């Protein structure tokens, strides 16, 4: 993984849980970057939304080697900025576009039924006949298994090294498993999960970066 930005330092402004900043923190951690958390309470955001680019968190603040700062809002924009900066989007515009498309499809297919549905996702998961369990999730799994199998079912979407969509899928696997979804132990999804879990770059912190984890101040 590229380390040309090691002299930059980062601040992640978000609540003291992984949540929507989870992949942002994982990208920084696995890339060996120096970063700190600035915990923001939701009521303080509501008190003065002008303090944040779009009136909400997470927000990333990067201090570059020359002392200048760069502020960026919106989760997906932050993730893709860091993924590109740390070499996780390939080396050509076409590779970057393809990797972004896979990552975005994961979000587009799962976020709305999981977090914007009028029915709690735990209730949908507990009901095998729900549209989520009988249609949405099986179709999603089949689609992304094809991508993983096309790459040789080696635990990565592309080639033999980590890329941005790998981390996005890992995050959603962990979210869904935490809500009760069971994936086939010998299937491509679990292969990806086990492959990425085994990366030395976690430095023993894999469990600390679970999407449901709280972060100590």
Q: What is the mean pLDDT of residues 135-148?
A: 97
Domains of the chain with bracketed CATH = 9-86 (3.40.30.10), 93-201 (1.20.1050.10)
Phi, psi of 36 (to 5 degrees): -130, 155
CA–CA distance, 87 with 83 (Å, rounded to integer): 6
Q: What is the mean pLDDT of residues 95-105?
A: 98
Q: Is the pTM of this model over 0.75?
A: yes
- Report the pLDDT value the prediction gives residue 117, as an integer from 0 to 100: 78
Judged by DSSP in three states, 78 sits in helix
Nearest in space to 176 (alpha carbons), one of 131, 116, 113, 130: 113
CA–CA distance, 189 with 173 (Å, rounded to integer): 8
On average, the pLDDT of the chain sits at: 94
Q: What is the mean pLDDT of residues 61-84?
A: 97
pLDDT one-digit tens code per residue, 147-205: 999 999 999 999 999 999 999 999 999 999 999 999 999 999 999 999 999 999 999 99
CA–CA distance, 190 with 82 (Å, rounded to integer): 25
């Amino acid at each position: 993984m590229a380390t040309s930005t090691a002299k930059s330092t980062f601040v992640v402004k978000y609540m003291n849980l992984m949540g929507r900043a989870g992949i942002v923190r994982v990208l920084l951690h696995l890339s060996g970057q120096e970063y700190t958390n600035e915990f923001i309470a939701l009521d303080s955001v509501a008190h003065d939304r002008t303090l944040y680019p779009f009136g909400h968190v997470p927000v990333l603040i990067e201090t570059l080697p020359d002392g200048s700062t760069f502020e960026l809002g919106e989760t997906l924009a932050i993730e893709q900025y860091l993924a590109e900066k740390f070499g996780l989007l390939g080396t050509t515009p076409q590779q970057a576009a393809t990797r972004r498309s896979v990552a975005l499809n994961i979000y587009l297919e799962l976020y709305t039924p999981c977090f914007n549905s009028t029915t709690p996702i735990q209730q949908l998961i507990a009901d095998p006949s729900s549209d989520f369990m009988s249609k949405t999730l099986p179709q999603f799994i089949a689609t992304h298994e094809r991508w993983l199998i096309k790459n040789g079912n080696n635990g990565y979407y592309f080639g033999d090294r980590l890329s941005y969509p790998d981390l996005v899928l890992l995050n959603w696997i962990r979210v869904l498993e935490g809500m009760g979804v069971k994936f086939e132990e010998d299937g491509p999804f679990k292969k990806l999960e086990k492959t990425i879990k085994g990366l030395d770059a976690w430095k023993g912190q894999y469990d600390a970066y679970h999407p449901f984890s709280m972060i100590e101040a």
